Amino acid sequence: MTKWIILLSLLSPAVARANTVTPQFTTGSMQSTTTTSQTITEEIVHDVLGAEVKTWSGTNVVPSSTIGAENGTYSVVTGATEWDLQITTRDAGTIETITIDRTIETESTTNSYSIFAQ
């Protein structure tokens, strides 16, 4: 029977008690400085796309076939008169690529000062 009482007393929870902590200072202060640096490097690439273009304009000119044809020829209608011919062709795709490279640098400093008393 005494064995059972000893065993039960060992298995039962004990009461925990905390001691009171008394600080050993009366007043004080603390100063802290934190500096943070950040560097951001980025590249922005922008492609300008365009459709296929085939245009022509002119005065006093006659084509032998379709304007812009590979074997086409152009004749001046009136030889003594001024003439002009503009033919513009462009394949569909990228017309221009714009690239922007930039670096952004930031730095911040935080100062804190605490005064405490008991």
Q: Are the C-beta atoms of 114 and 74 separated by less than 8 Å? A: no
Mean pLDDT to the nearest integer, 100-115: 95
Token code pair at residue 69: 């044809």
Q: For residues 109 and 81, which has the higher predicted lDDT (pLDDT)? A: 109
Residue 74: which pLDDT band, with cuts at 50, 70 and 90? confident
Question: What are the distances in angstroms from CA 105 to CA 42, 64, 100?
Answer: 12, 63, 16
pTM score over 0.85? no
Q: pLDDT tens digits for 28-54?
A: 889 999 999 999 999 999 999 999 988
Percent of the chain with pLDDT over 70: 84
Q: Where are the beta strands (DSSP E) in 51-92?
A: 53-59, 61-63, 74-76, 84-90
Closest alpha carbon to 113 in 37, 34, 10, 38: 34
